[in-house]
Structure 1
Amino acid sequence: MPMGVPQPVPALTTIATPTLWLVAIGGLVLLLALDLLLTRRPHEVRMREAAGWSVFYLILPVIFGGYLWAAHGGGVAAEFFTGFVVEKSLSVDNLFVFMLLLAAFAVPAALARQVLLYGIVGALVLRAVFIWLGAAALQSGTWAFLLFGAILIVTAGKILKDVLGGHEQQVDISSMRSVRLVRRFVPVTDGYHGARLTVREGGRLALTPLALAAVAILGTDIVFAVDSVPAVYGVTEDPFLVFATNAFALMGLRALYFVLQGVLTKLRHLNHGLSVILAFIGVKLILHWAHGVWDWVPQIPTLASLGVIVAVLTTVTLTSLYANRRDRDKEVAG
């Protein structure tokens, strides 16, 4: 084929059989049902409980990755673990926004777990839609790699601009479109009514602030999906692996929130690292697109991507700890 002429788009390959899809979805539904059962009685989540669930949701992807390694080889397992690390790192930044939302709505500590569960269920549905759309775009032509790469690079630039400009992440409830839309059509009560999402007030149905908080988190999930799904497609083109990495990262998100809620604000350089990771994956996608047009253009191997991502996350964690310690020393000296 002449150089510079786009090659035909091959059909997307996937390791998933119908049985594997059924097992994966069935296991996800079972975990969600267990979560719903445990949140029927609202309670404040203690560190020991949150840490136990966090470990559980970290063991699950390790077991699944081991299965992929045994059944499909190290290459597929490497793609899964790299995608999972990408999703997990992005989810930590998402947790900071969730923390701001819960504080802005003054959600009682005993109800925080339930609100996060609603947000996670909504995020899973949205991610499934975006994954399907992404797979359809990739199937239609290699231009999708160029589009995904551009989205990630633009997002990385925006994050870095906000960080360098000293703009802290803030949540203004009154300016959120999802909240304004709900308030326009449905009345909202002034106070919380336990774990109830709706109540009858003055003879008409009204939403509680708990429902409004869940809607706000769902609205932010849409924004997060625009970044995270293309990022994982930069690691693997298999829709099943993209779904699996998203599902494993999201299912452990709620427990991780309660473990890290006191630490999130101390990771001051996290957004620096995320901007680098998103830009790196964006470049990886564009190189992949270019390789389909010009054979001489190099591609970035999956293991190299994993190494870069882990190195960036380790670096920003260490620099954050160093900066926090330096500030404490200055306060003591001052």
Structure 2
Amino acid sequence: MPPYLSALVPTATAPAGEGITTIADPLMWGLTIAAVIGLLVMDFVVTRKPHEVSMREAIGWSTFYIALPLAFGGWIWSQFGQQTGVEYLTGYLVEKSLSVDNLFVFMLLLSAFAVPAVLQQRVLLFGIVGALVLRGIFIAVGAAVLANLSFAFLIFGAILLATAVKILRDQTSGASHDVDVANMRSVRLIRRFMPVTDDYRGPRLSVVENGRRMLTPLAVVVVAVFATDVVFAVDSVPAVYGITGDPYLVFATNAFALLGLRALYFVLQGALSKLVHLGYGLAAILGFIGVKLVLHWAHGVWPGVPTIPTLWSLLAIVAILGIVTATSLYATRGGTGDAEESAHVAEPPARQH
């Protein structure tokens, strides 16, 4: 077994720097990955025939994809105890919060590429698959790093603190986050090597015209979404490693948070513009977890340094999300006049690609 995979399924508990502790054996890993693949296949079947997503359909699938991870969290709690259960629920809440930030960028991309409404959920599904693959790689790498480098927690903490500062700076400056499609590296690279049709051809990624293969705009937007997935993985994976060192819980929380994005997008499409203070909340959450990671590293060097219990992390994250949601709704009350201006100035910042 390759070293980066053996780090994910150790046979015994080991202290930090000598191995990774996980609740899952190879069978549990296999069943979980099979379940994730099964859910993705089901989503592709659902979106096989392009159609506009009704609010009723979106709410139904969102309810399913929220109930499923919560039920799984209840099973984790009952089988492995309170500490593990709290780690799972906290990690899931963090990843779900960050996934809302993903939706802002997806919304900008779908708008910039003028993706027809009937094809939007197919683009989102491709983005989810790309995100799952990339985060799987990052999780494996992160497990190997944590198993072999004692200062890895300090590195992860620094990444999250830097990301928090960047988000906070963008939020306070009211920086524009429009997507300039023509100048995206991925788009320029594609058009350099492959011709692209002028219009969409249903769910097809490529067509043959005049004897030559051409990509459709759908293929270009899918590549653009994949490019943004890389950025999201850079801070999402370290964030959940700040909650739990178990790579199985990191994978499960990431997978469950991503699987429901397709439906959640259509539920929150109108509400996203009202979450004008979400950037402050994400900056606070990432900064909090960054400090938690730095303290964890310092505690290993100087035992007298305090650490932050996972239960405190859960309560802090819930409080932060509750506060920014309440202040956002208050700032945008009425939806006109000064509220709209406030919403425009304090537009939640999407991480740049």
Looking at structure 2, the residues matched to 330 and 246 of structure 1 have their Cα atoms a distance apart, in angstroms, of: 37
How do 1:25-174 residues align onto structure 2 when only pairs under 5 Å count? 25-174=33-182
Residue matched to 1:270: 278
Please list, as runs of the form range in 1=range in 2, the aligned pairs for 1:185-204 lying within 5 A after superposition: 185-204=193-212
Aligned AA (2:108): L
- 1:9 shift after superposition: 2.0
CA distance in 1, matches of 2:290, 2:334: 34
Aligned position for 1:284: 292
Shift of 1:181: 1.5
Once structures 1 and 2 are overlaid, which stretch shifts more, 225-234 or 317-326?
317-326
User: What stretches of structure 2 of length at least 5 have no aligned partner?
Assistant: 1-14, 341-353
Counterparts in 2 of 1:8 and 1:80: CA distance versus 1, 3 Å: closer
Say how many residue pairs are matched: 326
Q: Deviations over 1:162-208 (max 9, x none)?
A: 11111132211122111111111111111000110000122111110
Please state how far the C-alpha of 1:266 moved relative to its aligned partner.
0.8
Q: TM-score, normalised by structure 2?
A: 0.90
C-alpha contact (below 8 Å) 2:112/2:179 kept by paired residues: yes
1:260 has 2:275 as partner: no
1:227-252 Cα deviation digits (max 9, x unpaired): 10000000000000000000000000
Q: CA RMSD in A?
A: 1.4
Residue aligning to 1:249: 257
Letter in 2 for 1:219: A
CA distance in 2 between counterparts of 1:326 and 1:206 reads 47
Residue 10 (structure 1) aligned with residue 9 (structure 2): no
* Equivalent position of 2:10 in the other structure: none
Paired residue for 1:4? none
| 3-state secondary structure, aligned to 2:174 | coil
Assess, with a 3 A threshold, how the Cα gap between structure 1 residues 95 and 70 changes in structure 2: closer, same or farther.
Answer: same
SS of match in other structure, 1:191: coil
Q: Which runs of 5+ in 1 are unaligned?
A: 1-6
In the superposition, the TM-score normalised over structure 1's length comes to: 0.95
- Provide the C-alpha distance between the structure 2 equivalents of 1:34 and 1:254, rounded to a whole number of angstroms: 12
230, 245, 259: which one pairs with 1:237?
245
